[in-house]
Structure 1
Amino acid sequence: MSPLLSPESPELDDAHFALLAHYAKHLGRAPKAIRFATNAGDRRSRQKGHGMEMLELRAYQASDDLRHIDWRVTARTGQAHTRLYAQENDHQRLLLLDLSSSAYFGTRHTFISTRLIQLAGIIAWRSKQQGDTLSYRLTYGAEEHASNKSGTLSSLLSQLKEASHLEHRTNESRPDSIWSNTLLTNKMHNKDVIILTDKQTWSDSEESALMQLAKHNSVHWIQIIDSNVYNLPAGQYQMADRHGVKQVNISKHSMQQAKIDFFEQNAMMRKKLAAFGIRHQLFDITESPEKIARYLLSQGALH
């Protein structure tokens, strides 16, 4: 069995993260990225002669290059406006990894938490290899880590390794969503945002923040489930969660009802995300993180 698909332990070590670098390097070539465009002020467009991409249109500031003043907007509004540019090859990415205590579970190969962490590791390595800018925020158990600085790969990998520790399933999940109420996400514009989480519910205020994030960025939502959990034979099982180990009686009827409830809730979530313009993709734990990373590559979320 592949060490990537079925690592020896759900708690990942340095050797496994080094292995992820190899897979990240050999993902293949990305197709030409499809740039997203929104309303005026948030549009990315090719500008002949600049070799640059326009990131933002805003009121003129004293330090701005006079060559980048937008005279049409200035004439229309009566206030000087300037265009801000970034190099076309400067891909900027935000990684959001949010693990509930329920993610530290799996019936085969590994845990859902481990698969999401593996994928985050591949994203981190690929961003480094391609020279892309990667900001991130991680929440798991009672822990939260975030950075928008360059050169933080070693710190990110260390935090991902720590996130794989099973002790975090005994902690209460953070009540707020990973994209809400932070300066890191509130100021995101024109970035590829990748959300990795097993959660699929949020409050009204969190929904407003998610809509705002999707309005100004290209958001990709990756969800991983263990479908085999709905095929377990009827009987009594020992289950471990944040409350400890307990006996759980499972019947064929309860399994079928749990499956129906999950996929009904998942369908509602997918419908909401689609309305926000967020690309959602559901993967089973039997699929390797390399395959999921290639999907992100095909969508332009990775390069």
Structure 2
Amino acid sequence: MSPLLSPESPELDDTHFALLASYAKHLGRAPKAIRFATSSGERRARQKGHGMEMLELRAYQASDDLRHIDWRVTARTGQAHTRLYAQENDHQRLLLLDLSSSAYFGTRHTFIATRFLQLAGIIAWRSKQQGDTLSYRIAYGNQDHASNKSGTLPTLLNHLKNASKIENRVNGNNTASIWSNNVLTSKAHNKDVIILTDKQSWSKDEESTLMRLAEHNAVHWIQIFDSNAFNLPAGQYQMADNNGIKSVTISKNSMQQAKADFFEQNTLMRKKLASFGIRHQIFDISESPEKIARYLLSQGALH
């Protein structure tokens, strides 16, 4: 079994996070048409100059630099046209990671939390390798860490390693929203925002902040769940945590009800996010973090 899909322990160490660098390096490249798409919620800055990639060709405006007039198109159409450019190496990215106590669970391969942390590690390494600016805020257990400084990859990886510890399951849930009351999100403009969380609900105040975040940025919401958790046979199960082992009884009816409740809530969340212009995608824990990272690459959230 692949050490990426099924690590030896859900608690990840420095060696595992170092391994993620290789996976990040070999993701490939996103199609240019997607990387510079101007879809809803995305406000990619337009800049003019040499050594940059063309974003758009449009009719000439008085403020345009004469050096960027496309003379061939101008001659063909009889109207002056200007090339607009997007600076390829100036990608601003914001990573928001929020794990509930329920994320420290899994019926196969590893914990949901572990899969999120592997993905966050790949995002961090890829941003470093591509020279992108990465800000982050991560919340787990009773911990909350944030940074908008460059050169913080070792610090971020250390936070991710600590977030993988099973003790975070019993340290209580951080109820604060990772996008509310935060200077990182209130001042975020023209960024690729990646939200990684297993949570499916938020308050009215949080919703307003989320809408504003999506208005000025390209927001991608990644959810990971364990579909096998809804297919367990009825019976008693031994659940272990730092407090010891306890028995949990599961019936067929309770399993069916839990599945129905989850997907009903998930459908409502997906529709709400879509109305904000946020791209939501759900993955099963059986899918590798490399595959999820490739999805983000295809959507322009990674480069």
So what's the TM-score if we normalise by structure 2? 0.85
Q: Please, which runs of 5 or more residues in structure 1 have no aligned partner?
A: 54-66, 69-84
Cα deviation code 1:260-297 (max 9, x no counterpart) = 01000000000000000000000000000000000000
Cα deviation code 1:133-156 (max 9, x no counterpart) = 000001000001110000000000
Q: Please, which moves more after superposition, 125-134 or 238-247?
A: 238-247
Cα gap change, 1:244 to 1:9, in 2 (>3 Å): same
CA contact (8 A) 1:220 1:280 kept: yes
Deviation for aligned residue 1:103: 0.3
Q: Please, which runs of 5 or more residues in structure 2 have no aligned partner?
A: 54-62, 65-84
The corresponding residue for 1:181 is 181
The corresponding residue for 1:72 is none
CA distance in 2, matches of 1:51, 1:212: 33
CA distance in 2, matches of 1:101, 1:252: 24
- SS of equivalent residue, structure 2 residue 181: coil
Cα gap change, 1:43 to 1:227, in 2 (>3 Å): closer
CA distance in 1, matches of 2:43, 2:97: 27
Q: 1:34 aligns with which of 29, 33, 36?
A: 36
Cα gap change, 1:177 to 1:244, in 2 (>3 Å): farther
CA contact (8 A) 1:96 1:195 kept: yes
CA distance in 2, matches of 1:86, 1:182: 28
Cα deviation code 1:209-231 (max 9, x no counterpart) = 11011011000000000000011
- Amino acid corresponding to residue 188 of structure 1 in structure 2: A
The corresponding residue for 2:191 is 191
CA distance in 1, matches of 2:43, 2:262: 37
Deviation for aligned residue 1:248: 1.6
CA contact (8 A) 1:101 1:172 kept: yes
CA distance in 2, matches of 1:106, 1:163: 16
- SS of equivalent residue, structure 2 residue 138: strand
- Amino acid corresponding to residue 207 of structure 1 in structure 2: E
CA distance in 2, matches of 1:205, 1:294: 33
Deviation for aligned residue 1:50: 6.5
- Amino acid corresponding to residue 149 of structure 1 in structure 2: K
- Amino acid corresponding to residue 286 of structure 2 in structure 1: T
Cα gap change, 1:128 to 1:225, in 2 (>3 Å): same
So what's the TM-score if we normalise by structure 1? 0.85
Q: 1:149-298 maps to which residues of 2 (within 5 A)?
A: 149-240=149-240, 245-298=245-298
CA distance in 2, matches of 1:192, 1:213: 11
Q: Supply the RMSD in Å over aligned alpha carbons.
A: 2.3
Cα deviation code 1:54-94 (max 9, x no counterpart) = xxxxxxxxxxxxx99xxxxxxxxxxxxxxxx9844200000
- SS of equivalent residue, structure 1 residue 27: coil
CA distance in 1, matches of 2:244, 2:266: 27
* Identity between Structure 1 and Structure 2 (%): 78
